[in-house]
Structure 1
Amino acid sequence: MQTLMDVAELKDRLGGVGQTGKRTVLLDVRWELGDPNGREHYLAGHLPGAVFVDLATELAGPADPGRGRHPLPSLEQFQASARSWGVRSGDVVVAYDNTGNMAAARLWWMLRNAGVADVYLLDGGLAAWGAAGFDVESGERRPAGGDILLSDGAMPVIDAGQAASWGRQGLLLDARAGERYRGEIEPVDPRAGHIPGAVSAPTSANLGPDGKFLPAEQLRERFAGVGVRLDIATAVYCGSGVTAAHQIAALSIAGFPAALFPGSFSEWSNKPSNEVATGTAPYGGGTPAP
């Protein structure tokens, strides 16, 4: 199943070239940890016709120590949000941001999980659109309400209990920056380090200098280098379940399935009885397991 759409293909779709009768809905998911001004960035300039999606309020429920900083919203809440963006049954949905799809991948994953097959990430996002010389518009788009009917459970997930032993039965990838995995810094969560058994695989390494995903073959080599194989069950977490979706998108491009731990380290580290490992090795210390 295709994960990415490039800007040339999107431009053609918006211009009616090669259309198959399906509408194209553009969703702008401008969000970045530490930058609360996503809507302002959207208003200043976005792809023509794009609707703003607020990650903090529409792609997450209220923060909860027992579920993490960005717990998944209820199906009812998510469906209401999708309809408010104007999404109808049968639409092609293209999500993007301006940070290499680090935020937009959350929406991609959620819609895939909700049974929407025709949802894509715009490879390179807003930057790639601008680099191609295509116009943007300012202001806000307010679409007519949609009628999309969403379901749940199309993508695999694990919970904290499964994460506790996943590293012994499969492969658990930590998608955060290496210094957070090692426990050298922790800017937002209660404790520093990683879930015991997890292997460090920072999400930033999924992208090239242009903010686009690496080619599938390079992604396969990257993930094979950290132990990903088709015969080993892979699961992914990050800080709060947002950039882990980016890792799952990259794994999908490379041909590997993976489960998401939605609560991620923000849920794990809030429970005092959960052990936290530090250092470069999956179970703590300075030497990674072979």
Structure 2
Amino acid sequence: MHPFTSLRRSSILALAAVAILALPTFAAAAIQLPGPLVDAQWLHAHLNDVTVIDVRNDPKTFTTPPRYETLKNGQRRLLAVGGHIPGSHLVRFADIRVPREIDGRQINFMRPSAYAFQSVMQDSGLTADRPIIVVSPSDTNGSLEGGTASIDTAARLYWTLKTLGAKNIALLNGGVAGWLQSGYPVETSEPDLMPGDWTAQKPDLQWSADTGNVSSAAKTGTQVIDARPMRQYLGIEKVGVVSKYGHIPGAQAFPTDSITRQDGIAVYYLTKAGYDKVLPQLGISASRPTITYCNTGHFAAGAWFVMSQIVGNPHTRLYDGSMLEWTKEDRPVTPVDGTIAQ
């Protein structure tokens, strides 16, 4: 063989080896999440590059078909979410909120320990090597407060993942309802998933607040945001797990119907520009240190997601115990217990 030919072949092989070694780096660099929210179009285009985690109150809907009605013009309108985005990993909402003992009191619906949450995620098949997209049905059917509870279910899982170390993560705005209304297909078969290898880290307390933080909020210049329906904030109604009517003294209302918008049966968070217009009308600062709460940390997760991830306030924390813990400790509320409801 001519020496030049041998040299040229060696050079080509060397270049090929370098290119192959560079492929993983290139692939990882190419998959950039556009932000904390993605839409159905983006997810459809990148479905093979991400892991979709679907969190539901009712796991049965994961494998039942969606329901439609046919309109007079021949078009179909979505009536109920069913099925799941192809390749999704199911997580039960009940598995990511657990009882915890605090100062001798059992407080339900709290974030699990890092080890327990890691087990749930690994059982769902979550791996450590791909970006995570969190989805929920995000629909108005069978859901509290016009569907806000459904999309906030995804926000709660997002907060838990982020608190326990997930970095490359986003939430599907509009959820499975928005996916279906965009014309994309779902699967109804039970997925055959292998256990994952995702590992939880030590909790990042940057995103969490406790009762002490809330009770000292006025002294520290921290605004406290109540993410429940307005009638609960005002003390007209309450849920059964909370023992007092009213709200934490000094809290500003960020009611559920001002956090989301609806299109068909799909529920969406607003844009940053939208919240920049809404927040001042509610007396809420976009930049002050903030603690969000509700009854059990569910609606509060949506308010946390809005303030922290969409508005971009890095000093936003979620009070996990919320009104359940606050009233179990017999702390004060405004108005005085039951004065409006009677």
Q: TM-score range by the shorter chain?
A: 0.7 to 0.9
Counterpart for residue 93 of structure 1: 132
Change (3 A) 1:255 1:112: same
Secondary structure class of the residue paired with 1:53: strand
Paired residues, number: 267
**3-state DSSP class of the match of 1:101?**
helix
2:107 aligned residue: 68
* Displacement of 1:137: 1.2
Distance in 2 of aligned mates of 1:8 and 1:269: 44
1:218 to 274, 282, 303: 274
2:122 is aligned to 83
- Structure having the higher Rg: 2
- In structure 1, the partner of 2:332 is 275
Segments of structure 1 that go 5 or more residues without pairing to the other structure are 17-22, 32-37
**Could you tell me which of 239, 242, 255 is aligned with 2:312?**
255
Q: Which amino acid in the other structure matches residue 160 of structure 1?
A: T
Q: Considering only aligned residues, what root-mean-square deviation do their CA atoms show, in Å?
A: 2.2
Distance 1:197 1:165, change over 3 A: farther
2:89–2:126: 8 Å Cα contact kept in structure 1? no
CA distance in 2, matches of 1:50, 1:64: 33
1:59 aligns with 2:96: yes
The equivalences for 1:107-256 within 5 A come to: 107-151=157-201, 152-153=203-204, 155-168=206-219, 169-188=221-240, 189-210=242-263, 211-229=267-285, 231-251=287-307, 252-256=309-313
CA 63–41 in structure 1, closer or farther in 2 if over 3 Å, else same = farther
Cα 1:87–1:155 change in 2 (3 A) is farther
> SS in structure 2 opposite 1:70?
strand
Q: Tell me, which stretches of 5 or more residues in structure 2 are unaligned?
A: 1-33, 65-82, 139-149
Instruction: Name whichever of 184-193 and 150-159 sits farther off.
Output: 150-159
Contact 1:220 1:255 (8 Å CA) reproduced: no
- Structure 2 counterpart of 1:6, from 39, 49, 52: 39
Contact 1:229 1:256 in 2 (8 A): no
8 Å contact kept, 2:296–2:324? yes
1 or 2, which has the higher helix percentage? Answer: 2
* Normalised TM-score (structure 2): 0.73
RCO higher in structure (CA 8 A, sep ≥6)? 1
Between 1:226-235 and 1:41-50, the stretch displaced more is 226-235
Tell me what 1:35 maps to.
none
Classify 1:86/1:174 alpha carbon distance in 2 versus 1 (closer, same or farther; 3 Å).
same
Distance 1:194 1:246, change over 3 A: same
Q: CA deviation at 1:116?
A: 1.0
| 1:64 positional shift | 5.7
Between the aligned residues of both structures, percent identity stands at: 27
Does structure 1 residue 28 correspond to structure 2 residue 48?
no
Amino acid at match of 1:156: W
* In 1: Cα distance, 2:205 partner to 2:253 partner: 26
Deviation string for 1:124-183 (max 9, x for gaps)? 011110111111111322411111121121642111122113145220000000111111
8 Å Cα contact 2:287/2:313 also seen in 1: no
Instruction: Note the C-alpha offset of 1:232.
Output: 2.0
Q: Deviations over 1:177-233 (max 9, x none)?
A: 011111111122221111111111113312122211112111122223334435521
* Larger deviation, residues 62-71 vs 154-163: 62-71
- Supply the distance in 2 between the matched residues of 1:237 and 1:67 (Cα, whole angstroms): 18
